[in-house]
Chains A and B, each alone.
Chain A
C-alpha cells in the first residue's frame, strides 16, 4: 500500500527554484540580445524558443515534486533500462548532423536521449549503493557501480558525444566517495588517466607527480606498494607520448578530432580566440546590453548555447560572470548541503549525483570559453539555450528539491 505522502510545501527547499530562475533570467538577457539579429524571424529566435521550452520544463519539474520518494526508489532500475534503450535508439535511425545523438519523434524539435541517461544513471547507482550493505572499503565493491555507469557511457561515446559521456561517468567517483569507498582506491582509478594526460605539459606533469607522491605517502601503504604505484603511474605517463608516436598520422588525427569534435580544427582555434577577445574586451562592466560590437563574437556558431558566457561577458562584463558563477556555486552548494543533511542514503546519493552533473557542465562549459580545455559541446545549466538539457536540468532540480525534504512516509 502506498501511503499518501504528507508532503508539505513549507518543508520543500524552494529557494533552489529562485536561484535557477535567476540563472534563467541571465540566460534570457543574453538570448534576447542575440535574437536582435533575427529581425522579422523573431518568433523563431532562440529567445522565444527558450521561453516556450521553459513552460513544459517547469511544469514537469513541479510534477516531480509530488512523486513520493519510495515510488522513485522503486522504479529506478526500470528507468535505467529505458535510459539505455533510449540512447541506443538513435543508432537505428538516420544520422543527424553526422551523429547518432538525436531522436526525431515527430515533434518540431529533436530530443537528445543521452540527457535523460545522465539522470537515470545516477538514480540506478544511488539505489544500488544504498540497497546493498556493501563493504565499501574493499576494492571489489566499487567494480559493479562502475559497470552500471560504463554501459550508457560507452553507448553515448559511440554516438559520438564525448562531452555527455564524461558527464554520465563523472558522478561515479563522488557517489562512491559518499557511500564510504576508500578514497585512496578512488584516487588509484583516476590516477592513470591523469598521468597520461598531464605528461604533455611539463609543469602540469611535475605538479601531478608531486600530488601523486604526497597522496601515496599519506595513504600509509607499504613501502614496496607505494614505490610500485608511484613509478607505474609515472612510467605510464612517460610511455604515452611513445605510444602516441607509434600511431599513424591518420589515427592521431582521429583521436584529435575525437577530443575536439569541431570538424575543422582551424575553426575551433578561431572560435577560442574570438571568444577570448570578446570576453577580455568586456572588462569589468561590459559594453552594455546589445552593444557587443565584437564582430567576431557573432561568428561563433553556437553563441546561444556553447558560447553564451562569451556574449554575457562582453556585454555585461566580469560583474555578470562573477554573479553568475556565485549563484551557480550557491545552487550546487545547497544541493550538496541537502545531500549531507538527508536522512536516507538513497536521497543523499541522488543529490550528490545531481550536484556533480551540474558542476561538470558548469566547469566544462565555462573553461571552454576561456580556452582552458578543448572539449566543447556542453551547455551551461539554466543559462544556455538547448531543449533536452534545459528540460532535464529542471527535472533534476525538481527531484533535488523533492529528495531534499525529509518528510515521513
Chain B
C-alpha cells in the first residue's frame, strides 16, 4: 500500500520552490512594468485614445434577371448609433436628434431599448438617414458625445417589376430573430437576413461577410484615424445571383393581374426555368425597407385577400378539368378501353342516389375520348370510371408530381393532396365513402388539392413527354430530381393532339386563348374549379411552341368564373408577351 517512503531531498525541494517563486516574480515584474513604469503611457492611452472595433456591413449580393438586368440592388444609407457607456443626459440628446432628423423622440428611445446589448456595444438609434441629415448631425457633434453614424447598405429595387413573392424580402435581425437563426454568430442586431423568397433561400450566397476596422477616438469622441498595428479586414460583398426571370414578361404579367386575384406562371417547359411569376394581390417589394409606417404595415397585414401569402407556392386549389389529361392517360393505359367508343352526354348522370351534372346543362351529345377533352365534357368521364380504381388514378396523379412538393427554390411550399383509398379511409372511415368519390376526383374536384407551381410542373411534363427540369427561379448547376412520368409515345401524342384542338377546334373550350401567331403552335386546357369559398376558380394551362422552344403558361383567376371565358383571354395576352419578348431578344 503506502509503503514507499518519501525520498525527496532538500535540494529538490529548494529547486522547485525556487522555480515557483521565479514564475510568480516574472508575472509580478511584468505587471509592475505595465502598471507602474508605463502607467503614464497607458493612462494617456486609456483617456485620450479609445480603440473601437467597428464592423461594416457587407452589401448583399445583387439579384439579376436572366439578361443581367438588376432586379434587387443596394442603396447606401446611414444609421445612427450610440455607445451607451459614453452617453450622458440621454433624454436631452435624443430630443436634439429627433429635432434634427425629424423623427419622434419616443421612437429614438424605443430603438435604443430595442438594440441595447451592453454598455459598450454600439446601439442603433435610427436608420435610413440621408446625407443631409447626417451633415446636420455633424454640425452638432459637440452636443452629441457618444453618438456616431455608420454607412449601411439597404435593399432597393431599381426595376419596373415587383415580383415580391419571388424576390422575397430581408428582415432586420432583432433579439428574437437572432435566437432563431441557425448560424447566429454571423449576425448582429440590426443586420439584414433574408426572410422570404429568393432572399431567404439563397441567404448564404447573398449575405457576404462583414468587415472589421479599428479606429482610435479621443476623449471627445473625435475620430483619430485607423489603428495601424491592427490589420483591418474589408467587408466581402455577397455573391450576385442570376434568376431565370425575364424582366419584360414579368412586367407584362404583373400588369395583366393588376387588381385581380390569382396566379400567372410562365416557364420554359424543357428546363423548368420560370420566366415570370405573379401571385396577386402582392405588395411593394421595398415595403420592408426604409421607414415603413405602422399604417402601411397594417394595410398589408390585415388586407382581406392576404397579399403576403405566396399563392403559387402555398395556395391550395381544386384543379378542375385541367387534370383531365391524367384521367385520359389512365384510361388509355387500360387494354380493354376503346377511346373511339361513344358515350352520350345528356347533361347529367345518375350515380347511386346522387345526380352528377355536366358543366353544360343541356349536354354534349355523343362524345368519344378526344371530343370529351376538347369540349371538357364531364359525363364522359363519369361513364368510364369502371376502367380503373381510385388507387390507380391517384398513382397517375402522383406520377405527375401532385401530392408532393416540386422542390422549387422558394421555401415553404405546400404539398397539396392526392386522395388514395388509404387517405379516404383515414378521413371518412373504412365505409364512410363510396366509389362515387372517383366521380369527383376524375374531373379534378373533390378532395384533390394542388398548388399552381405543381400545375406548372405538370404542364411542363405534358409539353415535354415527361422529361422536364424541376421548376426553378435561379440558374443553378444542380437541380433537384424531377418526377418522370412514363407513358407510351402514342398516349403522349394523343394528349397533345387533343390539347391543340382545345385551342384550334371550333368547339374547343380554350379557343379564346389562341394568339394567332405566325409559326407558333399553341396547346392548352381550361378548367373551371368549383370550390366552397365562393365563385368558381378559372384555370388555363398550356404551352406555346415556336423556334424549337416550348413555353408553358399557367393562369389561375381566383373566384373569377369559367376557365374558357376568364382565364383563356389572359393566357392569350401571356402567349403574345412571350412571343414578343423572346423573338425580340433573338434579334439582338
Contact = CB atoms under 8 A, between A and B. Distances in A.
B27 interface: yes
A280 B39 contact: yes
Given A347-B2, A367-B30, A279 B46 contact: no
A70 B118 CA distance: 52
Given A277-B46, A280-B42, A340 B8 contact: yes
Interface stretch (B14-22, B343-351, B452-460): B14-22
Contacts of A274: 51
| Size category of the binding interface on chain A | 35 or more
Nearest to B4: A345
Interface in B377-411: none
A143 to B, nearest CB: 20
B13 A336 contact: yes
Given A73-B2, A266-B230, A346-B4, A284 B36 contact: yes
B582 interface: no
Interface centre among A174, A180, A280, A367 (most CB of B within 10 A): A280
Contact of B46 (A130, A270, A278, A336): A278
Contacts of A266: 212, 214, 230-231, 233
Nearest to A282: B35
B38 to A, nearest CB: 6
B38 A280 contact: yes
Nearest to A178: B8
Contacts of B86: 295
Nearest to B41: A280
A295 B21 contact: no
Interface string B43-65: 10111001101000000000000
Interface string B239-257: 0000000000000000000
A282 B233 CA distance: 31
Interface stretch (A14-22, A243-251, A321-329, A384-392): A321-329
Given A180-B7, A317-B35, A346-B2, A174 B16 contact: yes
A167 interface: no
Contacts of B12: 177-178
B34 interface: yes
Nearest to A70: B1
B120 interface: yes
Contacts of B28: 321-322, 325
Contacts of B119: 37, 298
B32 interface: yes
A303 to B, nearest CB: 11
B83 A281 contact: no
A313 B13 contact: no
Contacts of B334: none
A329 B21 contact: yes
A362 B38 CA distance: 23
> Would you call the interface of chain B mostly helix, strand, loop, or mixed?
helix
Contacts of B118: 37, 298
Contact of A345 (B7, B27, B34, B46): B7
A318 B6 contact: no
Q: Which of B13, B35, B230, B233 has the most CB of A within 10 A?
A: B35
A337 B12 CA distance: 11
A34 to B, nearest CB: 11
A11 interface: no
Nearest to B23: A363
Contact of A344 (B6, B26, B41): B6
Contacts of A355: 20
A55 interface: no
Contacts of A254: none
B287 interface: no
Interface residues of B, number: 49
Given A277-B45, A325-B24, A299 B5 contact: no
A130 B45 CA distance: 55
Nearest to A317: B35
A69 B1 CA distance: 10
Nearest to A369: B31
A98 to B, nearest CB: 10
A298 B50 contact: no
Nearest to B83: A295
Interface string A212-231: 00000000000000000000
B158 interface: no
Interface string A50-70: 000000000000000000011
B137 to A, nearest CB: 22
Contacts of A344: 2-6
A329 B20 contact: yes
A264 B55 CA distance: 13
Interface in A237-274: 264, 266, 269-270, 273-274
Contacts of A326: 24
A29 interface: no
B85 interface: yes
A342 interface: yes
Given A270-B51, A313-B31, A372-B30, A348 B8 contact: yes
B58 to A, nearest CB: 15
Contacts of B43: 280-281, 283
Contacts of A284: 35-36, 39
Contact of A296 (B1, B5, B51): B51
B2 A70 contact: yes
Contacts of B36: 283-284, 318
Contacts of B27: 325, 362-363, 366-367, 370
A244 B12 CA distance: 38
Given A277-B42, A296-B51, A359 B21 contact: no
A332 interface: yes
Contacts of A294: 46
Nearest to B227: A273
A326 B32 CA distance: 14
Most-contacted residue by chain B among A264, A296, A342, A343 (CB, 10 A):
A296
A337 B17 CA distance: 8
Contacts of B46: 277-278, 280-281, 293-294, 296
Given A278-B46, A281-B45, A370 B31 contact: yes
A307 B1 CA distance: 44
A133 interface: yes
Contacts of A363: 23, 27
Contacts of B21: 329, 333
A347 B3 CA distance: 11
A276 interface: yes
B35 A298 contact: no
A233 interface: no
Contact of B39 (A74, A283, A337, A359): A283
Contacts of A362: 23-24, 27
B16 A318 contact: no
B5 A298 contact: no
A313 B230 contact: no
A278 B50 CA distance: 11
Nearest to B217: A295
Contacts of B231: 266
A131 interface: yes
Q: Taking each of B1, B30, B31, which has the highest tally of chain A beta carbons within 10 Å of its own beta carbon?
A: B31
B35 A313 contact: yes
15 contacts: A73-B1, A130-B4, A177-B12, A179-B7, A266-B212, A266-B233, A276-B42, A277-B51, A293-B46, A296-B120, A333-B17, A340-B13, A345-B2, A352-B16, A362-B27
Given A178-B8, A279-B31, 20 more contacts: A74-B1, A133-B4, A177-B12, A264-B212, A266-B214, A277-B51, A281-B39, A283-B36, A298-B118, A299-B121, A313-B31, A317-B35, A336-B16, A340-B8, A342-B6, A344-B2, A345-B2, A347-B6, A348-B8, A370-B31
Interface of B: 1-8, 10, 12-13, 16-17, 20-21, 23-24, 26-28, 30-32, 34-36, 38-39, 41-43, 45-47, 50-51, 53, 83, 85-86, 118-121, 212, 214, 230-231, 233
Closest 3 CB pairs of A and B: A280-B42, A281-B46, A345-B4
